[in-house]
Amino acid sequence: MSTLTFEKLRQRIRDASITQERLALQLECDPSLFSRYLRGLRPAPDGFAAKVAAALDRLEQAEAAADEARRRVLAGTVK
């Protein structure tokens, strides 16, 4: 996996305001091993980047839904 891919994943994790540890645990991966994969210190298994990206996509979707629900409640459009 390329260094650029790792950099993009690390940036997405930072942007999502989630810790690497929390994301690793959600993916059922040892946090220290997860960190080594992201830093390129250990070869990541096939599909690792796709699995991380999919988890981040789900997190972003959940955050967007929560933001929309919060907006509706604050606007008084939810009964």
Q: Quick one: average pLDDT of 2-15?
A: 86
Q: Is the pTM of this model over 0.85?
A: no
Give residue 42's pLDDT: 94
* Domain layout of the chain by residue ranges: 3-75
pLDDT(1) > 90: no
Mean pLDDT of 11-16: 90
pLDDT at 72 over 80: yes
pLDDT at position 48, please? 93
Choose the CATH number for 3-75 among 1.10.10.60, 1.10.260.40, 3.30.1300.10, 1.20.1080.10.
1.10.260.40
pLDDT of residue 50: 93
Cβ contacts of residue 9 below 8 Å, gap of 6+?
A: 38, 49, 52, 53, 56
Mean per-residue pLDDT over the chain, rounded: 90
